[in-house]
Structure 1
């Protein structure tokens, strides 16, 4: 893959986007950005503060962050789990990047992730299953490539890196 093309990671909260993104950035010698961190920096408010106003308030901030991130070259971006809810986000990010869906089963997510610290998952474990069902089609439609996260982090990272090197 061209070194100037961004690598955009999408998927459910807790699927491994940030963990894989940071490790991949080290291996490939690229900069890593977590979209949620960019939102906080740009908006001057935490994610929970933005959600407290409304989900739309947060989603608007997410669009602004998508524009900022898409303007970069050759970086790895871990998007928020709901980035696919606004089609404009994916259109913006695809202009300068390839989108990789990190597909992790809801069972694995709830067994690993503290759902209490995730804004959209505070309703409990069943919310993870509902979100997966609501979003799975959107993730698949938005993705240029899909990586199933059902092995060790090292194995998934190796598969992702191999795929990127062969594009």
Structure 2
């Protein structure tokens, strides 16, 4: 199975709350560029999950519109969620819903990728970074990083 993990694009530094921070124009352009660069791979996605925060909703919308997919908002994708909770949620997903794209935040995206791959802190996830992982089961040390695309 394939799992795609996308960190939201660059967001404004301040807002009323962290949850309401919006993408900057640069953030929107970077997400669109990464999607264009990996369009053939992202065309495989069957399901998009996104954090309910504004910047991740906006990021997911860019991908969803490009590939004509709906977005499901998941509280488990908020950045400070323990990786174990996200792995439990992934274990409940039917196989036919994969490839699945997760749109989330740091530190969750970095912890998830490195935890699944057993790679310590080897892989960094800057804004608009997109990773592709493969595994038979979504558990610690059970995945392979297929590729990691950073913004252009």
TM range (shorter): 0.3 to 0.5
Q: State the TM-score, normalizing by the size of structure 2.
A: 0.35
- Under a length normalisation based on structure 1, what TM-score does the superposition of the two structures give? 0.33
Structure (1 or 2) with the greater strand fraction: 2
* Bigger Rg over Cα: 1
